[in-house]
Structure 1
């Protein structure tokens, strides 16, 4: 197992930043569709309070990205031989809903993977530490949640490295995983840019909850439980009340089936 050093990570960020020299930012957010974002949280909202009974912050840093031998460049699931699953959340939206999901998971002994949007962390920087202190994975879901696969190379590189730089500033690490915005998989160019920024693997998924379509909590629960199996990586989102309502039932049924909800890092270790 190869660990990327802090020096290498920072060098990779400089490489990615060099690709964007002179490049203009892409304008606006793409049309709604796959992975459509929830309504934006109010800018300047106070960071969510820690739920009573939770442990005090311990200033954890996210581990460096790692290369997983035998895993493809784009990972869709973990080993099918162990009763574990990874619930992965696209990190943006109302911070109170995020806090509710994190607290629900922790109370039930589950750990999540959060792929954070950089602009969301700009508005709610305390959530980066909150996620790590709860024992969850924290990763990169681009800076502005624009369709990164459709962008020119300099702008796509900037979307990845800008979010990575925010993660490193807030936590001491660029985060454990990268997932492209507005697509379940990365284009070859985006996968290459992610590697240059220090992410050896792109984290995709094999179970799509479709919660971003707002089908209701029961439909989200049915979809996840119909498709999940040993080793699954499930795509969910912060920012949707229906997702918050569905998670307790999902966790209850996973527990009944003997499936543990673990971080992606644990799933693949």
Structure 2
């Protein structure tokens, strides 16, 4: 199915009138993404050693280069995680009819708002891992995400290949985004996802813990929507690979993903699955 970007953007703009919005476009996805020839493959990676939840430490790093609004968003009340939640979450429990749709947070806020609205109309809650530079450009989007009952987390400040950085550079990338989240919402969020990588290496996990993230959020389903294969293809790839406990990696800044989301949610419902936040999945 061919996606008419102008039509989607016009629709997104109408939906965006319900909420505040503004724009920045960028793509996400990296060489470590795992997929098959016509769809995502489920990661067959052993889980790391378990780590129980601990209080989040305050982030450190360089001061913000620009002022931002005072905290006005109320963070979604996070359920406590299960005591055996691993340090790097790839999937949740396979025993409940739930999965998590996680979105790399960047791009045109009108598209992002359209996507959030579509999820809310289907009773779904999403997890958005925001890039800090996006929050600098569009600080109001943090409140829009949380006010819809969704979850907000950290996807680094500038979306660099974090596993290729030095330890201090990686720390700064994580800490600077955490500062934006804390200033805008009063919390650094529970989850950190590495940029340009599916999995965090040992150095990145260590730096995430230094900032206050005991858990890294990976994923097991990658429909490669960042390549713009079309809404029908994105839908088919998600529905073929997703199962109870899956963590699906998607992107907010692609109109085809907005178009695909209602069909994805309808298809998941037909399979008896419901989209919840990553924290709900791992509770």
Give the alignment's TM-score, normalised by structure 1: 0.79
Tell me, what secondary structure is at the counterpart of 1:154? helix
Q: Structure 1 pair 67/197, CA: closer, same or farther in 2 (3 Å)?
A: farther
Give the alignment's TM-score, normalised by structure 2: 0.76
Residue 9, structure 1, aligned to residue 60, structure 2: no
- Once the 2 structures are TM-superposed, how far is the Cα of residue 108 of structure 1 from its aligned partner? 0.7
CA contact (8 A) 1:118 1:144 kept: yes
Q: 96, 101, 105: which one pairs with 1:82? A: 96
Tell me, what secondary structure is at the counterpart of 1:104? helix
Point out where structure 2 has 5 or more consecutive residues left out of the alignment: 1-51, 64-71
Moved over 3 A (4+): 62-68
Residue 241, structure 1, aligned to residue 249, structure 2: no
Map of 2:35 onto structure 1: none
CA contact (8 A) 1:66 1:176 kept: no
Map of 2:204 onto structure 1: 190
**1:39-188 equivalence runs, <5 A:** 59-62=73-76, 68-188=82-202
Counterparts of 1:66 and 1:122, CA distance in 2: 29
| RMSD, matched Cα | 1.9
Counterparts of 1:138 and 1:129, CA distance in 2: 10
Counterparts of 1:231 and 1:64, CA distance in 2: 18
Counterparts of 1:252 and 1:200, CA distance in 2: 34
Tell me, what secondary structure is at the counterpart of 1:207? coil
- 1:229-269 deviation per Cα after TM superposition (whole angstroms, max 9, x unaligned): 00100000010011111101000011111101101111111
Q: Structure 1 pair 59/84, CA: closer, same or farther in 2 (3 Å)?
A: same
- Once the 2 structures are TM-superposed, how far is the Cα of residue 71 of structure 1 from its aligned partner? 2.1
Residue 224, structure 1, aligned to residue 272, structure 2: no
Counterparts of 2:153 and 2:206, CA distance in 1: 17
